[in-house]
């Protein structure tokens, strides 16, 4: 195999991995703090894509068409919106069940997922919508491999958001509170930390990141539909498990590993094997190394 | 997936059995008054077509096309002195939904079925209509899988996958393609065309199939397939799936710097393909397509009639659905009855009845003798006949 082909596969993997990563972070944050697999998380990604679509369609003129600045503004607004939806979701669907058996919350999460999907289907209709912006096909040549400017831009935004989150978790008081709660919520309560607030904040941040990924996917791929969050939700979950669920750097690592596995796996076996490959690795990791690549703490699991 | 489909089909089949049982009860009273089957009331034509889901755009085109024929025939006094009535159910391009829709159409008293768009969704309905001895004139679905069961009641009014593949290969040769990439979405209809195209291309030394890719429908990222196509140095890509994925693949091919020709099969011929791919990217994309009113010589008058009736433009499979109703009416007239067996015989005997694609005569396999595939090309925001 020649170098530029290998490099192209790596770039494909990294690009897809960037999207998986943004969604996987929210999965992992929520799991780390309240041990809940938030199956509605992929649908928050879908909501982000639709929020971006709505703003672009309504405000395209006012924002000066599909310029990068307009897109960034829309990205930020969509993040606030989806973050708020995540917050409300936690307040309405999950908080009342916090002391209930874990299975109840899991079922509620699946219900919330359907509610969001078909709520959007009712509001926007079942047909796909097309983003009214398009990027040119301009690209940079990296040793013969090709990366479009749009892809480069998306990856930089994703990287920026990931670094921002990492700094927030490691350097701020809020971040420290989150890490503390993930270790022992009862002790945190005794130490005077407002646990409910921190959990709300976690949902807000996780959902905002998924919303950002949704807007970016909508702008890059162009097509959005109400079921678009389903597969990526499962893939992000897989990424989180590969990296070690609950571990944020692990989630990003897992996403990149998954993206690369898919990219090389399909190159070897053909594109119809992509999902078989991805979910085969999920099963492999769950049986052989359930704590993932970076997970050390052996906690009890659902 | 496989097992749930089967459960759905079994449940639907069970529904049909129940429905037949109750119909039988009603039939006795009917024959008491009418004498020898139902000879009174409306002649009911059933149509399963996608009104929701990924191919929802097609449903109204088919429904209106069929309704136009029903209106015209009724205005001239109907068939055998009875009025035609069109009953439409949603198949959502989904096998389970389609099986339920077919069962419902049977209970609603369908005498001839004039529906069927997605091949994978039409497959499970064959046996449901077959058990009720209802002839099916399928306007759109055209996978050769539909013929595998040798169902006596199934007639395809659209060119088949084999005919489409032949048209595609002819065009590839004509345009001087050297290395062809075939891409399908792993569904019955799509895979059928790529398999047959690959077989047909074998006969020609100058035409090489460089790569064959199957993608999963419903995803966004097709970079794996695109990279494989670029690596195989293809100069001609033939996509045989539906328009949503088709649009994304065209867009991603262009973003990857692909400069060769692209062609899509009839399932992708929809304006949405151009919207999703982006108008610039879609320019010059070819398509193998059965005749549409826009491409048929003298179709203008028909389009005007359609517009007057529904205040909308006709689309893909409007004409085929219109023809399906006319063929059904012709067969019932010739049979002198709505009895399934007699109508099937009458359909087999039709010779030279004028439909949009030419003079109708079915082959022994119940397909068209003349395929009638055109090559279209994207110009501006629509598909036009390639000249």
Give the pLDDT of residue B263: 97
Give the pLDDT of residue A60: 62
Other residues' Cβ atoms within 10 Å of the Cβ of residue A159: 13
Provide, as residue numbers in chain A, all residues whose Cβ is less than 8 Å from the Cβ of B222. 271
Give the pLDDT of residue B10: 46
What value does the mean pLDDT of chain B take?
86
Contacts of A167 (CB under 8 A, 6+ apart): none
> B135-169 burial, b if ≥16 CB within 10 A, otherwise e?
bbbbbbbbbbbbbeeeeebbbbbbbbbbbbbbbbb
Taking only the tens place, the pLDDT of each residue in B371-383 is 678 899 999 988 8
Provide, as residue numbers in chain A, all residues whose Cβ is less than 8 Å from the Cβ of B223. 12, 15-16, 263
Average pLDDT over residues B13-28: 42
Report the range of poorest mean pLDDT among A202-206, A296-300, B227-231: A296-300
Mutate to test the interface with A, among B227, B232, B248 (most CBs of A within 10 A): B227
* Chain B residue whose CA is closest to A145: B256
Q: Residue B30 — pLDDT band, cuts 50, 70, 90?
A: very low
Q: Is the pLDDT of residue B27 over 60?
A: no
Radius of gyration of chain B (CA): 21
Average pLDDT over residues B321-325: 95
CB contact under 8 Å between A128 and B244, yes or no, is yes
Contacts of A172 (CB under 8 A, 6+ apart): none
Give me the torsion for CA of B186, B192, B193, B197, rounded to 10°. Answer: 110
CB contact under 8 Å between B244 and A137, yes or no, is no
Q: Are B199 and B92 contained in the same domain?
A: no
Q: Are B59 and B192 contained in the same domain?
A: no
Q: Are B53 and B20 contained in the same domain?
A: yes
Range of the domain at B135: 2-158+317-356
Give domain status of residue B251, yes or no. Answer: yes
Provide, as residue numbers in chain A, all residues whose Cβ is less than 8 Å from the Cβ of B56. 126-127
Give domain status of residue B310, yes or no. Answer: no
* Chain B residue whose CA is closest to A138: B255
CB contact under 8 Å between B228 and A223, yes or no, is no
Q: Are B172 and B279 contained in the same domain?
A: yes
N residues, chain A: 302
Per the listing, tokens 């006319």 go with B326
Q: How far is A143 from chain B (nearest CA, A)?
A: 15
Taking only the tens place, the pLDDT of each residue in A206-244 is 999 999 999 999 999 989 999 899 999 999 999 999 998
Per the listing, tokens 């389009």 go with B303
Q: How far is A129 from chain B (nearest CA, A)?
A: 9
Mutate to test the interface with A, among B51, B54, B223, B239 (most CBs of A within 10 A): B223
| Residue B373, SS3 per DSSP | strand
Q: Are B148 and B173 contained in the same domain?
A: no
The residue among B387 and B183 whose pLDDT is bigger is B183
Q: Is the pLDDT of residue A70 over 90?
A: no
Provide, as residue numbers in chain A, all residues whose Cβ is less than 8 Å from the Cβ of B257. 137, 139, 146
Nearest beta carbon to residue B213 from set A135, A139, A270: A270
Give the pLDDT of residue A62: 57
Taking only the tens place, the pLDDT of each residue in B79-128 is 999 999 999 999 998 999 999 999 999 999 999 999 999 999 999 999 99
Half-sphere exposure of B366 (CA within 13 A, CB side): 24
A to B CB pairs, distance under 8 Å: 85
Provide, as residue numbers in chain B, all residues whose Cβ is less than 8 Å from the Cβ of A272. 186, 213-216
Give domain status of residue B309, yes or no. Answer: no
Give the pLDDT of residue A61: 57
Q: How far is B116 from chain A (nearest CA, A)?
A: 20
Give the pLDDT of residue A296: 60
Chain A residues contacting B, CB < 8 Å? 5, 8-9, 12, 15-16, 126-128, 130, 134-135, 137, 139, 146, 148, 150, 217, 221-223, 225, 227-228, 231, 262-263, 266-267, 270-272, 274-275
CB contact under 8 Å between B224 and A271, yes or no, is yes
Q: Is the pLDDT of residue B340 over 90?
A: yes
Give the pLDDT of residue A52: 93
Q: Are B152 and B89 contained in the same domain?
A: yes
Average pLDDT over residues B247-253: 95
Q: Are the C-beta atoms of A98 and A109 separated by less than 8 Å?
A: no
Give the pLDDT of residue B369: 81
Q: Is the pLDDT of residue B290 over 60?
A: yes
The span from the CA of B346 to the CA of B330, in Å, is 9
Q: Are B347 and B278 contained in the same domain?
A: no
Give domain status of residue B298, yes or no. Answer: no
Q: Are B186 and B149 contained in the same domain?
A: no
Provide, as residue numbers in chain B, all residues whose Cβ is less than 8 Å from the Cβ of A262. 224
What value does the mean pLDDT of chain A take?
89
Q: Are B257 and B343 contained in the same domain?
A: no
Q: Are B120 and B186 contained in the same domain?
A: no
Nearest beta carbon to residue A274 from set B224, B231, B276: B224
Give domain status of residue B305, yes or no. Answer: no
Give the pLDDT of residue B22: 42
Q: How far is B1 from chain A (nearest CA, A)?
A: 14
Percent of all residues in chain B with a pLDDT value above 90, rounded to a whole number: 60
Give domain status of residue B69, yes or no. Answer: yes
The residue among B314 and B14 whose pLDDT is bigger is B314
Q: Are the C-beta atoms of B59 and B17 separated by less than 8 Å?
A: no
Q: Is the pLDDT of residue A297 over 90?
A: no
CB contact under 8 Å between A126 and B56, yes or no, is yes
Q: Are B174 and B187 contained in the same domain?
A: yes
Give the pLDDT of residue A81: 97
Average pLDDT over residues B153-172: 90
Number of domains in chain B: 2
* Chain A residue whose CA is closest to B215: A272
The span from the CA of A285 to the CA of B133, in Å, is 52
* Chain B residue whose CA is closest to A136: B255
Taking only the tens place, the pLDDT of each residue in B41-77 is 899 999 999 998 778 888 999 999 999 999 999 999 9
> What are the percentages of helix, strand and coil residues in chain B, rounded to 5?
50, 20, 35
Chain B residues contacting A, CB < 8 Å? 52-54, 56-57, 186, 213-216, 218-225, 227-228, 230-231, 244, 247-248, 251, 254-257, 272, 275-276, 278, 280-281
Percent of all residues in chain A with a pLDDT value above 90, rounded to a whole number: 61
Q: Are strands B43-49 and A223-224 parallel, antiparallel or unpaired?
A: unpaired
The span from the CA of B249 to the CA of B262, in Å, is 10
Give the pLDDT of residue B130: 94
Half-sphere exposure of B380 (CA within 13 A, CB side): 3
Which structure tokens are listed for A259?
Answer: 């993206």
The span from the CA of A244 to the CA of B229, in Å, is 35
CB contact under 8 Å between B222 and A271, yes or no, is yes
Provide, as residue numbers in chain A, all residues whose Cβ is less than 8 Å from the Cβ of B244. 128, 223, 225
Provide, as residue numbers in chain B, all residues whose Cβ is less than 8 Å from the Cβ of A275. 216
CB contact under 8 Å between A263 and B224, yes or no, is yes
Average pLDDT over residues B193-219: 88
Q: Residue B14 — pLDDT band, cuts 50, 70, 90?
A: very low
CATH (domain of B29): 3.40.50.2300
Give the pLDDT of residue B34: 30
CB contact under 8 Å between B248 and A223, yes or no, is yes
Nearest beta carbon to residue A12 from set B223, B254, B278: B223
CB contact under 8 Å between A126 and B251, yes or no, is no
Provide, as residue numbers in chain A, all residues whose Cβ is less than 8 Å from the Cβ of B221. 15-16, 221
**DSSP, residue by residue, B155-212:** EE-SPPHHHHHHHHHHHHHHTT-SEEEEEE-SSHHHHHHHHHHHHHHHT-TT-EEEEE
CA B107, B112, B117 angle in degrees (round to 5)?
95
The span from the CA of B88 to the CA of B163, in Å, is 29
Q: Is the pLDDT of residue A105 over 60?
A: yes
The span from the CA of B219 to the CA of B241, in Å, is 13
Provide, as residue numbers in chain B, all residues whose Cβ is less than 8 Å from the Cβ of A128. 54, 244, 272, 276
Give the pLDDT of residue A142: 83
Q: Is the pLDDT of residue A277 over 80?
A: yes
Taking only the tens place, the pLDDT of each residue in A108-147 is 999 999 999 999 999 998 788 998 877 778 888 888 888 9
Q: Residue A64 — pLDDT band, cuts 50, 70, 90?
A: low
User: For residue B333, how far is the Cα from the chain centroid?
Assistant: 25
Q: Residue B354 — pLDDT band, cuts 50, 70, 90?
A: confident
CB contact under 8 Å between A139 and B224, yes or no, is no
Provide, as residue numbers in chain A, all residues whose Cβ is less than 8 Å from the Cβ of B272. 128, 130
Backbone angles phi, psi at B62, to 5 degrees: -70, -45
Give me the torsion for CA of B178, B184, B190, B196, rounded to 10°. Answer: 30
| Alpha helices for chain A (secondary structure H) | 3-34, 41-59, 68-89, 102-124, 149-171, 173-183, 185-190, 195-221, 228-243, 248-269, 274-288
Half-sphere exposure of B158 (CA within 13 A, CB side): 35
Give domain status of residue B300, yes or no. Answer: no
Q: Are B205 and B250 contained in the same domain?
A: yes
CB contact under 8 Å between B215 and A263, yes or no, is no
Average pLDDT over residues A138-159: 89
Contacts of A290 (CB under 8 A, 6+ apart): A241, A301
Give the pLDDT of residue A302: 39
The span from the CA of A218 to the CA of B257, in Å, is 21
Taking only the tens place, the pLDDT of each residue in B255-273 is 999 999 999 998 899 888 9
């Amino acid at each position: 195999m020649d170098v530029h082909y290998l490099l192209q596969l790596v770039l494909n993997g990294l690009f897809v991995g960037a999207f998986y990563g943004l969604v996987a972070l929210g999965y992992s944050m929520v799991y780390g703090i309240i041990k809940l697999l938030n199956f509605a998380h992929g649908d928050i990604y879908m909501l982000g894509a639709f929020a971006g679509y709505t703003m672009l369609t309504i405000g395209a003129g006012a924002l000066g068409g599909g310029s990068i600045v307009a897109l960034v503004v829309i990205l930020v607004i969509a993040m606030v919106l989806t973050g708020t939806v995540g917050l409300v979701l936690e307040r309405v669907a999950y908080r009342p069940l916090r002391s209930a058996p874990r299975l109840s919350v899991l079922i509620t999460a699946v219900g919330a997922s359907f509610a969001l999907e078909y709520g959007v289907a009712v509001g926007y209709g079942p047909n796909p919508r097309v983003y009214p912006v398009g990027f040119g096909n301009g690209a940079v040549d990296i040793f013969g491999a090709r990366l479009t400017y749009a892809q480069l831009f998306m990856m930089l935004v994703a990287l920026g958001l990931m670094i921002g989150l990492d700094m927030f978790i490691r350097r701020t008081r809020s971040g420290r509170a989150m890490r503390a709660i993930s270790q022992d919520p009862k002790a945190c309560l005794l130490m005077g930390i407002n646990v409910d607030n921190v959990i709300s904040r976690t949902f807000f941040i996780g959902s905002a990141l998924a919303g950002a990924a949704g807007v970016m996917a909508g702008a890059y791929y162009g097509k959005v539909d109400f079921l678009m969050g389903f597969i990526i939700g499962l893939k992000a979950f897989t990424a989180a498990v590969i990296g070690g669920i609950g571990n944020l750097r692990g989630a990003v690592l897992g996403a990149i590993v998954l993206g690369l596995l898919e990219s090389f796996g399909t190159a070897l076996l053909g594109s119809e094997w992509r999902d078989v490959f991805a979910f085969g690795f999920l099963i492999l990791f769950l049986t052989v190394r359930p704590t993932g690549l970076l997970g050390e703490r052996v906690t009890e699991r659902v | 997936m496989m097992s749930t489909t089967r459960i759905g089909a079994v449940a639907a089949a069970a529904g049909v059995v129940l429905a037949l049982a109750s119909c039988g009860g009603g039939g006795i009273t009917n024959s008491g008054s009418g004498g020898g089957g139902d000879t009174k009331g409306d002649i009911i034509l059933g149509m399963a077509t996608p009104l929701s889901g990924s191919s929802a755009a097609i449903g109204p085109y088919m429904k209106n096309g069929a309704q136009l024929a029903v209106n015209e025939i009724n205005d001239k006094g109907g068939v055998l002195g009875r009025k035609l009535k069109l009953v439409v159910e949603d198949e959502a391009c989904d096998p389970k939904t389609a099986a339920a829709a077919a069962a419902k159409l049977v209970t609603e008293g369908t005498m001839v079925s004039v529906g069927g768009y997605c091949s994978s969704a039409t497959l499970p309905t064959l046996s449901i209509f077959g058990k009720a001895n209802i002839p099916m004139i399928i306007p759109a679905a055209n996978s050769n899988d539909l013929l595998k069961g040798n169902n006596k009641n199934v007639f395809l009014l659209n060119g088949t996958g084999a005919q489409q593949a032949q048209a595609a290969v002819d065009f590839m040769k004509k345009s001087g393609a050297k290395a062809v990439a075939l891409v399908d979405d792993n569904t019955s209809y799509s895979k059928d065309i790529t398999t047959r195209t690959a077989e047909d291309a074998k006969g020609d030394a100058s035409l090489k199939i460089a790569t064959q890719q199957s993608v999963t429908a419903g995803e966004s990222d097709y970079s794996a397939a695109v990279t494989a196509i670029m690596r195989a140095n293809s100069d001609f890509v033939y996509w045989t799936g539906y328009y949503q994925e088709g649009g994304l693949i065209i867009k991603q091919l262009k973003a990857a710097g692909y400069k060769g020709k692209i062609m899509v099969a009839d399932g992708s011929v929809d304006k949405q393909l151009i919207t999703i791919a982006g108008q610039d990217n879609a320019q010059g994309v070819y398509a193998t397509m059965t005749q549409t009113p826009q491409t048929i010589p003298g179709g203008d008058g028909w389009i005007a009639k359609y517009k007057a009736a529904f205040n909308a433009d006709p689309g893909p499979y409007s004409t085929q659905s219109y023809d399906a109703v006319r063929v059904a009416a012709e067969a019932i007239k010739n049979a002198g009855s709505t009895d399934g067996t007699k109508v099937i015989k009458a359909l087999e005997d039709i010779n030279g009845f004028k439909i949009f694609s030419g003079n109708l005569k079915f082959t022994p396999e119940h397909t068209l003798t003349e395929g009638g595939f055109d090559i279209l090309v994207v110009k501006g925001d629509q598909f036009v006949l390639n000249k």
